[in-house]
Structures are given as structure tokens and as C-alpha cells.
Structure 1
Amino acid sequence: MSGPLVAAVELGGTKIFVLRARGQEIFERVMIPTTTPQETLGMARELLARWQSQEPLSALGIASFGPLRLDRNAADFGIMLPTPKPGWTGADIFGVLAGALPCPAAIDTDVNAAALAEARWGAGAEGERLSDCLCYLTIGTGLGGGFALNGQPLHGAMHPELGHIHVRRAAGDAFPGACPFHGDCIEGLVSGPALARRFGLPGDRIAADDPRWDFVAHDIAQLVCTILLTTAARQVLIGGGVGMGRAGLLDRVREKVVVQLNGYLPFVRQDTIATIVRTPALGEQAGPLGAVALALDALKGENEG
């Protein structure tokens, strides 16, 4: 293994991974259940401090579920904004974790970080050159989306919140949606909890030939079309338990994207759609490697500054 020694944290709604890596190669990972901010972040901070005492860390990258304040000039930078996750609104994620180490640190959303890793080391790096615009979607407990644009994660006033976009519903679909904020936004239509409510069964027990999957494929295809039309993304990667757990669903989504666009985007065709709408090349490692990518960027920024 070669490269700088960095630490990375991937903070999810049910578990948190604390990682050590040399360059982009992860060699140690510790899982901590996500309970309260005090307990979860406290355990992660103690581990980071212990690693720092063993061998100094060069940088820290934090990839977290959101919504987050990512404007470094804001008073609440690195703090969790109002979230459905009980007890986590107002949690000072960056302050607690970065405060444990005397090294540069960066924070971003988990999906932005995953998009960054895929752009550099995964699907976006499989061709002749790195992808200049790549979208990473995760469909599971919720629906999140992030972008790597010209090698950097995308954020401005906030960060992308693709899960709460409203899409044009399929004819005959009367499901009211399950989002507590917006009802039938895309997260309220196709996330794991939404599917359980729509079908009356947990996702892993829903028959593959249930005709209601056609509504789900339609809705996801609508989101993908919106992304392609508004961002000119070269690829839309669909991960998460719903995204990666049903190959047949992804095939349906691809078919519907081509039909819904109706030839308007000349690069989206039957013979290209499988490379445009696909699963992440890094699989479940996109998230952890995204946190590592943030750490390496924080170190690069420190050195260049």
C-alpha cells in the first residue's frame, strides 16, 4: 500500500463506518450502529483520536446522510439540517469529528461522495477519459442523489435533493405516496418504505411479476429523464437496496427512459442506454471510497493552499 494515511467516515441512517486508508486503498473499517448523535459521533471521535495517536493521519473525509449545511461561510456549516431521523436535527457532525484531528478535513453528502468515487475510480473512469458529469442515485430507505461535476461534488445554496422532485405520474396509478413532507414526490413513490406501503409487503417479498412494478419503473424513469435533461449527465448510476436489488426493475427503467425521451437526446438510444443507466461499478464500496476521496481532496487543497 502506498499514499498518504487518511481517515474517512461514512455516516448512514442505520450504521456508520469509520475507515483508514493508504491512498485509495481501505485497510481498516469499523462499524458503529447509528443511535443518538452523542453516542454515535462520540464513539467515532474516540476511534479517530486513537488512530491519530498510533500514527498521525494526513486528512479526514466525512460522507454523511443529509440534509447538511455545506457552505463553509455559514455559521451552521457541517451541521445536520431538519431531518426525519429522530434526534439528529442540529447535530454538529463536522465539528465533532474534525475536531478530533489536527489535519485538514472535508464533509459532503454520502451520495455526492459516492458520485465522486464513481467518477474517479468507477463507472466514470471506464472509458477513454473521466466522466465530466455523473449522477449517483441511491434508492433504499429513502432516495438520494448526488453529482460529480468536472471532478468535484455539486453543491451551492445546499446540495441536490433529488428525492423530493415531483414526477409525472403514470396513468391509472392512484398510490398517494409515503413522504411525510410531500406525499408523492419520487422518494414517496419508490423508496423502500413507499414500496412496502404501495404493495402491502416488504420489498424482498414482492413478486417480480406484480404489475404494479410497472408504475415504479415509470416513476424512476421519469426521474432519470429529468436528470438527463437538466444536467446533461453522461451516466445515472442507481444503487441502494431497491436500485441494486432488482435487475429486472433496472431493465424496465431503461426501456421507459428511451420511450419517454422519444429520441430527443440523441445519445440515449436502445444500444447505449445500458451504459448510461446502470448500477455503480464500485457497488457497495462507492460510499466508503467516496469518503476517502473527500479526505484526499482535503489534503490536496491543504497542500495547494
Structure 2
Amino acid sequence: MLYGGIEAGGTKFVCAVADEKLQIKEKISIATTDPQTTFKQVFAFFDRYPIEALGIGSFGPIGIQPDQENYGHILATPKEGWAGVDFLGQMKQRYKVPTAWTTDVNAAAFGEIKRGAAKGRHSCIYLTIGTGIGGGVVINDEVFEGISHPEIGHLYIKRAAEDTYQGTCPYHKDCLEGLAAGPSLEARTGIKGEELPLDHPIWDLQANYLAQALMSYTLILAPEIIILGGGVMNQDHLLKKIQQQFSELMAGYMETPKAEDYIVRWGLPNESGLIGALLLAQREREY
């Protein structure tokens, strides 16, 4: 039995086929160009395998309500040419198999709770911090979705008094993504994030904004663990600053595990979403 998984990002699609033990047999990375070209390459990959279920974690926002016309579509994305694309419909038309459909960060959260840093827990939040900020939520072992999927990267936070940066988010300017995603580091300093000195004051500001968001997530959803991934989190010192500021902001109000055990780095670096998509495919087949 073979399962297919797609982690569909705005930069690349990572596709894989795995066996019943979820051992990956083949994996491929495809540049996200225009939809026609991208899907042609996706089909060429999966056409070679008799997959029995498919899991898709897609960049968003996406339509997730089966009774709505936009179900399975990519919605108001800034990715040129992709807004309104019926992603799920094209895949289901090509492959008549059970198919799981969610966001890339929800898939990553599911991968982390089953095989990564949240293994053994029943709830978690996964936050990816890179070019943008996106988050996935698992509660009671289920990917959380309501009228839409969580968009916790666009939470508003309290801006520091000395921070005059307008923010990079094209929709909200100074939401969490606008103030703390990767591009904000270079925009404020003129230096790429990976080249910034460890003692640069921007890291304290970055940590404060992220810690504020994690505090809000904790107070609202009370997950068992919070997992941070993405390119910005390659900075070891940043994680420690976030943990410290989180503890200071919480001020002992709510009992949580120690910050170093509660806020952790991803356990499946760069593979959380793909592993999650395969796991969701397997579960969809079992249903």
C-alpha cells in the first residue's frame, strides 16, 4: 500500500510517496511557478505510483468547508496566479482516492504531534517563522478548524514604543507577521537575519513580539506544548530569549511547564509538513 503526500508552499511543492509504515520511497521538490506548470510536474510524479490515499498541506488561505463553493480552492493568496485555483478538485479528478486537505502548517502540527517534538501529547501549536508567520493547531489529536483554519500568524500584538517600523504584512501591516517575520529583520537593520550579530538589539524585540503571541495562544488554547520552526528559528539564542520573555510576560499567572520544555524547536526540521501530509493520507485511507 502506498500513500502520497504534498507539502505545497509558495516557493516549492515537496511531494513524496511512502509505504504503509510511512517509509518514504521517493521524494521530489518542484518549484511553485504557475499552476499549470506546477500541476503538470506533480501529476508526472504521482502517475508513476498506485497511491491509495493522498494528503495535502497547502499554503493558504484555503477553503476548508465542504458545503462551500470555494472548498478545496486557494483563496486570497498574494502568490501570483494562484488565487482561486481549485487545488483539491484537480488532484481528486486525477486520483480517485481518499484525500486529506488542510494547510501546510496544520499538516506540520499533525506531523509534530505524531512523530516530532510533540509526540505523546494530545494538543500542540506549531508556528513557523520565516518569510511569513503561520500556525497550525492540534487539539485532542485532531487538526483544529472552525469557519476557517487558524491564521494565528496575523494576531495583533503590542508594539514596542521605540519601534516605528510599519510592518511587512500586505493586509494588516503591523500584525505579528508584519512585525516579526524574517523580512522585518533586514528591513529594520539592512542586514540579513542570518548575518546579524548575536548581540544586536533587534533580537530582543523579535523575541518579545513572539513571546507576546505565544502568551496569547497559551491563554486562549492552553496547548500542552508549542513548537517553533522555520528559517528564523535557526538562531539558537533566539529560542532562549523567547522562552525567557514568555516566562516574564506570563508573570506566574497560569501554570505551564518550564518554558524550556514548553516552547521547543521542531522535531522534524523541514519535514514536519510532508510527514504530516502522509500521516493524514494514511488516516484518511483508514476512515
Q: Do these two structures clear the TM 0.5 threshold for a shared fold by scoring above it?
A: yes
Of 237, 242, 247, which residue of structure 2 is paired with 1:258? 247
Contact 1:60 1:98 in 2 (8 A): no
The corresponding residue for 1:279 is 265
* Separation in structure 1 between the aligned mates of residue 137 and residue 106 of structure 2, nearest angstrom: 5
The corresponding residue for 1:112 is 106
CA apart distance, 1:46: 2.8
* Separation in structure 2 between the aligned mates of residue 102 and residue 39 of structure 1, nearest angstrom: 21
Of 143, 146, 150, which residue of structure 2 is paired with 1:153? 143
Contact 1:18 1:44 in 2 (8 A): yes
2:228 partner SS: strand
The corresponding residue for 2:172 is 182
The corresponding residue for 2:15 is 18
Which one-letter code corresponds to 1:218 in the other structure?
N
Which one-letter code corresponds to 1:41 in the other structure?
F
Q: Percent identity?
A: 37
CA apart distance, 1:163: 1.5
The corresponding residue for 1:71 is 65
1:112-159 CA-to-partner distances (Å, cap 9, x unmatched) read 01111111111222xxxx312100000111100001111111111110
User: Is 1:47 equivalent to 2:45 in the alignment?
Assistant: yes
1:192-213 CA-to-partner distances (Å, cap 9, x unmatched) read 1222212222212222111121
CA apart distance, 1:173: 2.1
The corresponding residue for 2:89 is 95
* Separation in structure 2 between the aligned mates of residue 170 and residue 265 of structure 1, nearest angstrom: 24
CA apart distance, 1:177: 1.2
The corresponding residue for 1:235 is 225
Of 202, 208, 213, which residue of structure 2 is paired with 1:218? 208
* Separation in structure 2 between the aligned mates of residue 27 and residue 197 of structure 1, nearest angstrom: 41
Contact 1:190 1:219 in 2 (8 A): yes
Contact 2:185 2:202 in 1 (8 A): no
* Separation in structure 2 between the aligned mates of residue 50 and residue 27 of structure 1, nearest angstrom: 12
2:94 partner SS: coil
Contact 1:45 1:96 in 2 (8 A): no
The corresponding residue for 1:300 is 286
CA apart distance, 1:172: 2.1
1:181-233 CA-to-partner distances (Å, cap 9, x unmatched) read 11110000111122221222221222211112111110000011011110001
1:249 partner SS: helix
> Gaps (5+ residues) in structure 2?
none
The corresponding residue for 2:35 is 37
2:51 partner SS: coil
Q: Which runs of 4+ in 1 moved over 4 A?
A: none
Q: TM-score, normalised by structure 2?
A: 0.96
The corresponding residue for 2:159 is 169
User: Is 1:194 equivalent to 2:184 in the alignment?
Assistant: yes
* Separation in structure 2 between the aligned mates of residue 300 and residue 213 of structure 1, nearest angstrom: 45
Q: TM-score, normalised by structure 1?
A: 0.91
Which one-letter code corresponds to 2:164 in the other structure?
A
Contact 2:124 2:224 in 1 (8 A): yes
1:28 partner SS: strand
1:67-100 CA-to-partner distances (Å, cap 9, x unmatched) read 0001112111110011111111011111112221
The corresponding residue for 1:121 is 115
1:123 partner SS: coil
* Separation in structure 2 between the aligned mates of residue 116 and residue 279 of structure 1, nearest angstrom: 15
Contact 2:256 2:262 in 1 (8 A): no
Contact 2:243 2:259 in 1 (8 A): yes
**Number of residue pairs the alignment of both structures matches:** 286
1:97 partner SS: helix
Which one-letter code corresponds to 1:70 in the other structure?
I
* Separation in structure 1 between the aligned mates of residue 40 and residue 284 of structure 2, nearest angstrom: 22
Of 1, 5, 12, which residue of structure 1 is paired with 2:2? 5
CA apart distance, 1:170: 2.5
